[in-house]
Structures are given as C-alpha cells and as structure tokens.
Structure 1
C-alpha cells in the first residue's frame, strides 16, 4: 500500500475526499446506479405516480432507504415520506443546489442490485390520450357534448 504524503492530506483537506463516479452520484442524489431499486422523476412525484410500485419494491427490499429531491415542495414529498414511515424505511431529503437532476425519488440499498429496469412507466389513460392527440380544446368539447 502506498504511503500517504503531505500533499495528499492537503488535497483532501482542500477539496474533500476522492469520490467514485461523481457524475453518477450527482444524477442519483448521492448514490450509485448499481444500488438503485426504483426511480421516479420529479413530475411523477408531483403527480403521485408510482406510489403502488414504490410500496411493492419497499416490501421486496426491507433494508432499503428512500432519497427524495429537496427541490420538490414538501406537500408533494409527504405521501412518499409517510409510505416509507409506514414500512420503517429511512428517508433522506437531498438538497444540493449545485447538482441538477430530473429525478425526484430514489429507492436504494447499500449494496449492488444491478436492476435493469428501474424506471416507473406511466400507463396511458383515455383522458391523457385524448388531451395529447386532440389537444385541450377537443378534450373539453368531449366532456360537454350532449348525451344521447
């Protein structure tokens, strides 16, 4: 093993300890991709999409923890925190102004799980399909068309 010298101590004191895969840690709220069980984007968290899937994955991984993006308002994070509390899962709110990520909630463990599909897919509803295909005007017209 290499003997540490004064320069190494100074560098660590000035810049902090060296970190593996810093860009990956920035994206995944401080954890590594290989440790991620489930990921929700900010918009999914604000729309409360994926609560059922998150609950299922929490039950599969009792030793997991939930990382929540601190840029999201508390009122949107609250259902996720209460779900974690019900299942005795530790939650951490990560507020780092320097890092930009579109992820809102991450269920992670302390060891590598190497899950291939970690994203929650949004299932299309008829209302959403009609809004996206025909626009808002057609969607509202369909709501108010006469019966019969």
Structure 2
C-alpha cells in the first residue's frame, strides 16, 4: 500500500515516467522500431527523393505519417498532397530539431515492424542520391595510353 501511495505521489510531482525519452524525441514522439521510412529535412528538399516517396508511399498500407513542424509551409503542402493522394493520414508534430539532419518526415506503424533500413536514400537508392566516383587514370596510365 505504501509503495502504491509513493508511486502515485511521484507521478503527481514528476509526471508519468517515459520509456526511452531520447529516442522518442528523435523520432518525433514514436519509437525507432515502429518506423517504416524516414526523411531528413535536407532530403525533403531533394526533388528526386520526393518523387521516390511518391512512388513508394503506397507500399506501406497501414502507415501513418509524422511530419516535423520545422518543415517550411510550401514543402509541407507538397508532402500533404502526396500523402492525401495515397490516403495516408498524417500528423504535424511539434519539434525543436531544426538542423538539416533532423528527421522531417516519418512513415510509422501502430506497432513494431523492425525495419532494418528506414532512411529513404538507403532503402530506395537513386542515381542522384548516390555519389558517383570516377577513377582517375594513374600517371603511368596517362603516359602510355
């Protein structure tokens, strides 16, 4: 009885304890294990990745979208049109993350899906998102060609 009373008092003073609060802050209020796909704020500005999302958003039929409120209004409107066309519900989440590598958009499930790769550039590589590396000919190769 005393433990229940102490727990009730602690919850009243400090709030209900959260499970993995840092992870929830990073992933816009949800857990990493529930994520299908993520886009950073910088990736959301990339037209090739926006088109990639447009083609693959229907792969996740039971998904819900979480969008960072730090995304510009015009960009939000573009992504809302994509989500509306695919009939994906969305929520704009208040976040203090403003850097380009902060998460801007997440497609999530209501329970754990444990996707190993959730970054859109890694999951669906495009020619524009991959760095191209040309091999330079060596000194001897230039000399004898």
TM-score by length of 2: 0.73
Decide whether aligned partners of structure 1 residues 16 and 124 sit closer, same or farther in structure 2, where only a CA change above 3 A counts.
Answer: same
Counterpart of 2:13 in structure 1 is 14
Report the aligned-residue RMSD.
Answer: 2.8
Gaps of 5+ in 2: 133-145
Q: Distance in 1 between matches of 2:22 and 2:57?
A: 26
Asked if residue 104 in structure 1 is aligned to residue 104 in structure 2, the reply is: yes
How many residues align? The count is 127
Q: Please list every run of at least 4 consecutive aligned residues from structure 1 whose deviation after the TM superposition is greater than 6 angstroms.
A: 98-101
Q: Deviations over 1:18-46 (max 9, x none)?
A: 22111111111111111100010101112
Q: CA deviation at 1:106?
A: 0.5
Matches within 5 A, 1:56-75: 56-75=55-74
Gaps of 5+ in 1: 130-148
Counterpart of 2:118 in structure 1 is 118
Decide whether aligned partners of structure 1 residues 116 and 21 sit closer, same or farther in structure 2, where only a CA change above 3 A counts.
Answer: same
Q: CA deviation at 1:3?
A: 8.2
Tell me which moved more, 46-55 or 21-30: 46-55
> What secondary structure, in the 3-state scheme, does the structure 2 residue paired with 1:7 have?
helix
Decide whether aligned partners of structure 1 residues 123 and 56 sit closer, same or farther in structure 2, where only a CA change above 3 A counts.
Answer: closer
Counterpart of 2:79 in structure 1 is 80
Asked if residue 37 in structure 1 is aligned to residue 32 in structure 2, the reply is: no
Decide whether aligned partners of structure 1 residues 18 and 57 sit closer, same or farther in structure 2, where only a CA change above 3 A counts.
Answer: farther
